[in-house]
Amino acid sequence: MEAKCTSEEEAQAQMDIWKYVFGFTEMAVVKCAIELKIADVLESHDGRPMTLPELSSALGCSPPILYRIMRFLIHRKIFKEISVGHESTGYVQSPLSRLLMKNGDNSMAAFVLLESSPEMLAPWHGLSARALEIGASAFTAAHGEDVWRYAAANPSHNKLINDAMACHARVAMSAITEIYADVFEGIGSLVDVGGGDGTTIGILVKKCPWIRGINFDLPHVISSAQNWDGVEHVGGNMFEKIPKADAAFLMWVLHDWGDDECINILKKCREAIPGDTGKVIIAEAVIDEGEEDKFKNVGLALDMVMMAHTDKGKERTFKEWTNVLSAAGFTRYTFKHFQAVQSVIEAYP
């Protein structure tokens, strides 16, 4: 028997539907704010509020248009508006707007710019075809090749990816090394598999200077890697061979691939580490199908991102992770959860 909706539920639905009609606007306006460098200019004002004329002059923007943009962002608590004198108001930063600064310590601006780029938005239009298994994957259908080949052939998009992964690495590694520093104790050498431009392993070695770091990724990625003290950059293919080390580290790598590919990568990691003392450290989302946590919505959104941007990638539940690890030959593993998108998984041969 069909359940009847109450009038309150019907009214709520009439309001909620507009979130999906105009859902793209928040990403688009935040991208606009990053490109205009609004947060950077406000930060340079030493915490003092900037009036609309002051901010529009500093940005070189049309005051009426900037006013409408700021009104939108303030309503969503991205920036703040405070009184200045008796009849004027000024704009100031918020904790959220500081994450939009181009060079902020915990900036996520590069991630916003990647996900809002035309290349990454186009595959979303093919999501239904992906679900119906019509033709190629969504990204390949949009661009003629998968995301990795596309990045290799398009240096500007490759830079967007590297910059986004680097900004995420700064946030994630700060949390991981602060909360779970013991994970890296006793490790003399560590290979970061799929380490991008080296930011992840560079941060780790700086915080754990006893570790000799190896940043391992595809040759075209390594060619633009940063120089970090204590880090060696090595180009190669993780499906073929991974450099030897005491331990292997993978962050946001396995979710790009299907189970068979993950098992293959993990087997290569097992071959690269000592059988008696080695371990593989994985930083990935673990979807909890029971209790809610603060980042479950992010994990579920990432799963949709994997569907749109990769051929076989997905976010995994605890059970799915244990199946993959067991199939790769790991006999013991531990899961450590903390208030972030990722959990830390330690797997032992």
User: Of residues 125, 255, 309, 337, which has the active-site annotation?
Assistant: 255
Strands (E), 8-121: 80-84, 88-92
Crossing angle, helix 24-36 and helix 63-75, to 10 degrees? 130
Count of residues making up the chain: 349
Residues 6+ apart with CB under 8 A from 279: 247, 248, 273, 346, 347, 348, 349
Tokens read off for 266: 């993990």
User: Distances from the Cα of 252 to the Cαs of 96, 256, 257, 262, 324, in angstroms?
Assistant: 23, 7, 10, 12, 15
Instruction: Say if residues 283 and 342 touch (Cβ distance below 8 Å).
Output: yes
Of 157, 257, 120, 248, the closest CA to residue 195 belongs to: 248
DSSP string, 159-212: HHHHHHHHHHHHHHHHHHHHH-GGGGTT-SEEEEET-TTSHHHHHHHHHSTTPE
Annotation marks residue 255 as catalytic: yes
Tokens read off for 226: 């940063």
Residues 315 and 21: their CA atoms lie apart, in Å, by 26
Radius of gyration of the chain (CA): 23
Residues marked active site are found at 255
